[in-house]
Structure 1
Amino acid sequence: MSNRPLAAAGRLVPLLRAGLIAGIVIAAAAYPLVALTGLGAKATAHAVEAKTKLLATALPAETSYLYAPDGKTVLTMFYEEYRQYTKLSDMSPNIQQAIVAAEDSRFYQHHGVDPKGVARAFVANTRSSGVSQGASTLTMQYVRMALRDSATTPKEVQEATQQTSLRKVKEMRMALDLEKELSKEQILERYLNSAYFGHRAYGIYAASEIFFSKTPKDLTPVEAATLAGLVKSPSEYDPADSDQKEATGRRNYVLDRMSQLGYLSPDSAAAAKTEPIRLKLTNPPNDCAAVGEKYNSWGFACDYLKNWWSAQPAFGANRLERMDKLRRGGYRIVLSIDPKIQEAAEKNVGAKEGTGSPFANGIVVSEPGTGRVKAMAVNRTYSLDLSENPQSSNPEAGPKVKANYPNTVAPLLGGGDLPGYQAGSTFKMFPMLAALDSGMKLSTSFNAPYRYKSSVYDGWAPSNASGAMTGQQTMWSGFGKSVNTYFVWLEEQVGADRAVRLAEQLGLRWRTDVDREQASPTKAKKWGAFTLGVSDATPLEMANAYAAIAADGRYCEAIPVQAIMTRDGKPATYTTASGIDREVAKPRCRQVVSADAARAATDAARCPTGDTPARGGCGGWSTADSVRGTVGRPVAGKTGTTDSTRSAWFVGYTPELAAASFISDPDNPFNAVGDGQSQIPIAAVAETLRDGLKGTPTRQFTPPSDAIVG
């Protein structure tokens, strides 16, 4: 008796079992309620349907780009997954055909789940007693990638990636449903934009750029086959390895499959297989430390952008959500930095104090009327590499710490968590402006003694820097000579608390425990030393506060951008408390003091600079009388130094620009810069305003009215 019929039957059993199981799997995919048992089955099915609807409209995470003001020069990017969404029409047919050949040759025949593929995988896996072959279609793979990409909680991530039969059944059902919502072309486009190709390349645009430094539209069959072969195992088939054996073998497999499917002729495939893999690797920049050498100093503005972004409710409910949006939202961000002004700022701070100095000399330039930051420069290299930095060993500074020079990414200019530096007499602007806005006159006179004992501030007795400041003073002469005792008296008249609140309205924030306590409602009335600038401030804050005075009392929040576009090319918006949609990049301004009060303060502030006020007299001399001659146009401003000249400041402005410069040791505030260095911020501001405004029409300050002059 022959055993051949029995042997044939024996060989049929696994195939019949495979067909039966494949049928069960497909039935479960088509009708998940059969597979999902228990009371929650119906709810689970509804959840699957809802998720499918969401995936039909969801797009993968995309890289955000930061541009120079020309809107074309890329300064850097922000991403967790480097990806730029690309339309199928902008991809070479070679990559479309290669990915189908590599991953799902029956993509155009099935409806999301391939019964033949399931049967084939079952047989292969049964014979190998393991998982030697998968049955996932391109659609199923896309569902898995999209679920993972849209996951917002650890639980959702686990559900999207766990190796369970239930996940597979849900995936199949969603693939079947998704093919009812999207065309094959739409699914293929989304797949190619979602797949991971290794080397931080997510999506075909990133893969084409990173491996071949070209766009997907220009991929050759060999390049397309190389990239398509990576999806199965990016590390195993990495063509950037010194030994390209595995990558070449996988590429050749894809080329053979392309030939078998009719995408390539046998001769073309054979010729392509003889070619070596020629890479042209690109390393896409990421985050502010990757800003190129040409624009290195712009890294500080980039860093400020990140801090500003993290505080914008338009991008999320908290800092984590907002930064996630920056790295995944596909925004196109254009900085507000003006290249001409930035170049002037870099040159003028760099010429005064070298990068190797422990003293930081920095400058911020703001635009009155918009709050847009036009320049941020400091005598430091923006770099994460601190290996060359010296160690601070000053005994008063405590243990040795890394110094912020010559390299740093610390927000020395403002916008971060550093408190800043004591700003000295630049704070005299706040009680003067508060007094003018309350109805006091520019001509308000006081016979200022060398030392003044305050009855309001519990006998506190400050003195002037020089005996030459003693005598009758007005706001013009008191501000021009920086007469401490005049401004302590003036602050008494208007109330220190009013000056503090006005400074807050002009953008100042208190970052130390001492400053917060002194500025509190219970203490502010007695904060007599406020007018002498004992509080910390940043150049960003001071430039923007003085810019409001240049803008006739209209304060605009500091903003580092001129445009923010979403991934669909529309301006990013937020909804105001009154329900109005506004562009995030538009200036946000409000009137803080009357225009006449601001103009009067400007008239007095022309005295320190050696300029001539429109309505009064400066009293013979000033603290920065070289500024007017350097700038060469109407200019106002104020000097500031602290005890023992541990820091020195100058804040100056024209009708077009406001600039604040400081010099101090960020690592050791006890390291005094000295009187000889106090001219450095004055020169930095004056020369930056001069150079930044070169070639522009000269504008005049608007004089104050007779009513406020007195």
Structure 2
Amino acid sequence: MIRVRRLDKLMTIVIAGVLAGLALAVAALPAALVLGIGVRGLTEPWPELPASLSTPPTAQRSTLYANDGTTLITSFYTEDRVDVPLSRVAPVMRQAIVAAEDVRFYQHPGVDARGVVRAFTANQRDGTRQGASTLTMQYVRNVLAGDPALTEEQRAKATEITVSRKLKEMRYALALERKLSKDQILAGYLNIAYFGAGAYGVAAASKRYFSKQPAALTLAEAALLAGLVRSPNTDDPINGDADAALLRRAYVLDRLVETGQVAPDVAAAAKAEPLLLKPSTTPNDCTAVPEEHADWGFFCDWFTSWWNEQPAFGATVDERQRTLRRGGFRIVTSFDPAVQQTASAQVRKVYDVDDRRVAPTAVVQPGTGRVLALAVNRNYSMADNPAGWTNRPNTVNQLVAGGGTIVGYQAGSTFKMFTMLAALEAGLPLDTGFDAPARIVTRFEVGGGSANCGGRWCPVNADPLGMDGYRTMWDAFGRSVNTYFAWLTERVGADRVVEMAERLGIRFRAEDDARLARYGARDWGPFTLGVTATTPLDLAGAYAAVAAEGRWCAPTPVLSITDSGGRPATAGGPDCRQVLDVDVARGAADAARCPVGDQSMYQRCSGGTASDLRADLGRPVAGKTGSSDGNGTETVVAFTPQLAVASIAANPDDPRDAVGAAVQARLVDVVGTVLYDALRGEPVRDFVPPGESVALRVTGARTGN
């Protein structure tokens, strides 16, 4: 360091002479002026180092993993780079890069006097343009030019060949070596250098060319990579000149022999090795999920939508995307490949991948909102489809969670859950009775349709023989009695039913639905029959809140997010709140056992629309089926205390294309099989019975009919 402080005037003049030989424009300047710039530049006080030189703001790829923390779903990046400590780089790689770029790296103080003299002599003798850039100076240049915040114009200016730029590099290099150790600078250089073929940093380069970690590089491989940094765009052996890459490899090996780090015979053997590349690419974005798991892209796509809504990652969507693609995050998701595999296999039994209809299915964990799977009988791909086939068999349209052109699908009688919850909350117990007729004329005004009686909404029961007559919430929910729930909606108020659905996470993506929810909820009687559009994810999340005894959690795709420094992000944890009284939720769960062949704690179930599910599953279960008008869509949602699954059959491109009633039984198999496989080996948990005040009419405490 003393030598750095005592650089004499002669060395300053020599350095300035080197600078004069570096730029054509500078060469035309009067020599005295050039030398004057050099003297002034290097004799000024030590500069204050930019913080970026100690902690480079390099763009690093973010990686997305399944819930095991090891199964890679995909990556997101603008530059394929991930930083690694020097301890995870093979010693031969460290030696090779020093031999190739700066053989006196461990001897000089940041600016190599011998190299400067050599370059100055060559520049004066034959007009060549040797730069004498040390590895430290190259690191400084790469950091200053590689700031992700720079525009392309700013980046070009940071790398242009000028006297002032070169002086700045030298002065920063000298100052940097007073602050960082040689190994710290070497590690920084290895992580920031460009090695060609889209690989930034030694870790990405090792994977790109040899499909291995940098710690496993051989001598020949390390020499090849070290030789690339001089001309990465032309010497790239994958896309450029493989012969040039081999010549550079030989040069690096010779330098290693000259410095005594490698024996001549060992270097000769490495030179004789053929170019044994094993190229691999790092997946980038959701369309690059593993080819054999093309269905994973729908979860990935929904993850990016979720990320874009998180203010912790930026003020705008663009900022959040830049953060994702440059921030080097390690994201462990809630995605369960085994559950996804089961769900995908089941929905493809309902409809083939190129069927015009779909059966999107979502799996959600109650109490956390973590999404384990999003399955649909499509490939998440931008590949071309046959003429006239918009979303099949390939699509990047989010068919499960909504977005793009998808506002959702009508979920039919599954929305009766919100009416029941609103009624229980209003003080009407489960045994609230009503003699349900085949048709009921309500006070709600309607503009048309088959359920129109003189301008009033007048729904009918689907099966008069099995539904008409005296009903309570238990058997009305189990048998899906439309007229009972129309009457119950009148009693509790349609606006309270709509508000209940919103409280449990139902989003109104369709403009007409959003307008009615905001301005016409009081008169939206048909809402109880699921005439609004929803998604399997919203529906599974709502029913999961009932399973979790009233604790609704915003659906989340992540278990953990850590930044490039290993620090946890502030976003991603469960976002939960108690939206229902615990006993109200228990009451709704008790009645929801009726549709799926289970029995309520009060032994009040008497028939259901999916009565085989309990026996097939072999554990307590609750749920609901739903059919939209004319069987345009069919829906099944089921839940245990540990898991909720929702599946909807629909035509996403033509809502007028009815799926038919027969598909409902196949959806029951979908949700039942997913629950069975996902819960295999898990303890059998029962629902907690509601208190009598929620279940039964108590004189003086509850009102009923």
- Please report the TM-score for the alignment, with normalisation by the length of structure 2: 0.87
For residue 518 of structure 1, report the CA deviation from its aligned partner.
Answer: 1.1
2:650 aligned partner, one-letter code: S
For residue 59 of structure 1, report the CA deviation from its aligned partner.
Answer: 5.0
C-alpha distance in structure 1 between counterparts of 2:506 and 2:162, whole Å: 56
1:680 to 656, 666, 670: 666
1:547 to 544, 549, 553: 544
Aligned to 1:345: 343
1:98 to 96, 101, 106: 96
1:239 aligned partner, one-letter code: P
**Within-5 A mapping of 1:443-462:** 443-457=431-445, 459-462=455-458
Aligned to 2:186: 188
C-alpha distance in structure 1 between counterparts of 2:93 and 2:34, whole Å: 30
Gap change, CA 1:691 and 1:269, over 3 Å in 2? closer
Gap change, CA 1:538 and 1:124, over 3 Å in 2? farther
Gap change, CA 1:513 and 1:415, over 3 Å in 2? closer
Aligned to 2:175: 177
For residue 115 of structure 1, report the CA deviation from its aligned partner.
Answer: 4.8
C-alpha distance in structure 2 between counterparts of 1:627 and 1:25, whole Å: 85
C-alpha distance in structure 1 between counterparts of 2:189 and 2:34, whole Å: 25
For residue 309 of structure 1, report the CA deviation from its aligned partner.
Answer: 1.9
1:474 to 444, 450, 472: 472
Task: Confirm whether residue 439 of structure 1 aligns to residue 427 of structure 2.
Answer: yes
Aligned to 2:684: 698
1:408 aligned partner, one-letter code: T
Decide whether the 8 Å contact of 1:75 with 1:295 is kept in 2. no
Partner SS for 1:604: helix
Decide whether the 8 Å contact of 2:350 with 2:663 is kept in 1. no
For residue 506 of structure 1, report the CA deviation from its aligned partner.
Answer: 1.2
C-alpha distance in structure 2 between counterparts of 1:259 and 1:243, whole Å: 25
Partner SS for 2:232: coil
Partner SS for 1:673: coil
1:592 to 579, 582, 589: 579
C-alpha distance in structure 2 between counterparts of 1:276 and 1:26, whole Å: 47
C-alpha distance in structure 2 between counterparts of 1:495 and 1:621, whole Å: 27
For residue 311 of structure 1, report the CA deviation from its aligned partner.
Answer: 1.7
Aligned to 1:609: 596
Decide whether the 8 Å contact of 2:309 with 2:317 is kept in 1. yes
2:535 aligned partner, one-letter code: T
1:534 aligned partner, one-letter code: V
For residue 229 of structure 1, report the CA deviation from its aligned partner.
Answer: 1.3
1:573 to 569, 575, 582: 569
Aligned to 1:133: 130
Q: Any idea what the Cα deviations from partners look like across 1:175-199, whole Å, max 9, x if unmatched? A: 2222222111111110001101011
Decide whether the 8 Å contact of 2:546 with 2:588 is kept in 1. yes
Q: Any idea what the Cα deviations from partners look like across 1:27-73, whole Å, max 9, x if unmatched? A: 3443468xxxxxxxxxxx9xx7352x332123533222222332223
Decide whether the 8 Å contact of 1:30 with 1:176 is kept in 2. no
Task: Confirm whether residue 463 of structure 1 aligns to residue 449 of structure 2.
Answer: no
Aligned to 2:360: 362
C-alpha distance in structure 2 between counterparts of 1:653 and 1:282, whole Å: 42
For residue 363 of structure 1, report the CA deviation from its aligned partner.
Answer: 1.4
For residue 559 of structure 1, report the CA deviation from its aligned partner.
Answer: 1.4
C-alpha distance in structure 2 between counterparts of 1:184 and 1:508, whole Å: 57
Decide whether the 8 Å contact of 2:18 with 2:123 is kept in 1. no
Gap change, CA 1:146 and 1:537, over 3 Å in 2? same
2:201 aligned partner, one-letter code: G
Aligned to 1:113: 111
C-alpha distance in structure 1 between counterparts of 2:597 and 2:19, whole Å: 99
2:139 to 138, 142, 157: 142
Gap change, CA 1:123 and 1:536, over 3 Å in 2? farther
Decide whether the 8 Å contact of 1:22 with 1:119 is kept in 2. no
1:681 aligned partner, one-letter code: L
Partner SS for 2:200: coil
For residue 271 of structure 1, report the CA deviation from its aligned partner.
Answer: 4.9
For residue 365 of structure 1, report the CA deviation from its aligned partner.
Answer: 1.2
Decide whether the 8 Å contact of 2:63 with 2:328 is kept in 1. yes
Aligned to 1:406: 393
Partner SS for 1:499: helix
Gap change, CA 1:92 and 1:15, over 3 Å in 2? closer
User: Percent identity among equivalent residues?
Assistant: 49
Task: Confirm whether residue 422 of structure 1 aligns to residue 410 of structure 2.
Answer: yes
C-alpha distance in structure 2 between counterparts of 1:534 and 1:283, whole Å: 47
Aligned to 1:27: 39
Q: Any idea what the Cα deviations from partners look like across 1:360-383, whole Å, max 9, x if unmatched? A: 112111111111112222222233
Task: Confirm whether residue 523 of structure 1 aligns to residue 510 of structure 2.
Answer: no
Partner SS for 1:674: coil
Decide whether the 8 Å contact of 1:637 with 1:651 is kept in 2. yes
Decide whether the 8 Å contact of 2:220 with 2:270 is kept in 1. yes
For residue 274 of structure 1, report the CA deviation from its aligned partner.
Answer: 3.9
Q: Any idea what the Cα deviations from partners look like across 1:465-490, whole Å, max 9, x if unmatched? A: 33333333321222122222322222
Gap change, CA 1:236 and 1:528, over 3 Å in 2? same
2:613 to 618, 624, 627: 627
1:411 aligned partner, one-letter code: Q
C-alpha distance in structure 1 between counterparts of 2:693 and 2:286, whole Å: 50
Partner SS for 1:83: coil
Decide whether the 8 Å contact of 1:151 with 1:157 is kept in 2. no
C-alpha distance in structure 2 between counterparts of 1:162 and 1:415, whole Å: 48
For residue 551 of structure 1, report the CA deviation from its aligned partner.
Answer: 0.7
Aligned to 2:218: 220
Gap change, CA 1:441 and 1:250, over 3 Å in 2? same
Q: Any idea what the Cα deviations from partners look like across 1:498-527, whole Å, max 9, x if unmatched? A: 22222222112111211111111x322222
Aligned to 2:484: 486
Gap change, CA 1:151 and 1:336, over 3 Å in 2? closer
C-alpha distance in structure 2 between counterparts of 1:375 and 1:15, whole Å: 62
Task: Confirm whether residue 390 of structure 1 aligns to residue 386 of structure 2.
Answer: yes
State the Cα RMSD in Å. Answer: 2.8
1:495 to 493, 496, 508: 493
C-alpha distance in structure 1 between counterparts of 2:364 and 2:430, whole Å: 26
157-166 vs 245-254, which moves further:
157-166
Gap change, CA 1:23 and 1:640, over 3 Å in 2? same
Decide whether the 8 Å contact of 1:65 with 1:333 is kept in 2. yes
Aligned to 1:38: none
Q: Any idea what the Cα deviations from partners look like across 1:315-362, whole Å, max 9, x if unmatched? A: 222222222232222222222233443333223222222212111112
* Residues matched between the structures, number: 659
- Please report the TM-score for the alignment, with normalisation by the length of structure 1: 0.86
1:373 to 361, 371, 374: 371
For residue 409 of structure 1, report the CA deviation from its aligned partner.
Answer: 2.8
Structure 1 unmatched ranges of 5 or more:
1-13, 34-44, 393-401, 575-583
Aligned to 2:700: none
Partner SS for 1:590: strand
Gap change, CA 1:457 and 1:603, over 3 Å in 2? farther
C-alpha distance in structure 2 between counterparts of 1:551 and 1:585, whole Å: 20
Q: Any idea what the Cα deviations from partners look like across 1:405-461, whole Å, max 9, x if unmatched? A: 222232211064431211111111112111211222112223333333332447432
1:30 aligned partner, one-letter code: L
Aligned to 2:553: 556
C-alpha distance in structure 2 between counterparts of 1:269 and 1:548, whole Å: 66
Partner SS for 1:347: helix
Aligned to 1:167: 165
**Within-5 A mapping of 1:49-88:** 49=48, 51=50, 53-88=51-86
Aligned to 1:707: 693
2:139 aligned partner, one-letter code: Y
Decide whether the 8 Å contact of 2:19 with 2:163 is kept in 1. no
Gap change, CA 1:115 and 1:354, over 3 Å in 2? same
1:557 aligned partner, one-letter code: A
1:49 aligned partner, one-letter code: E
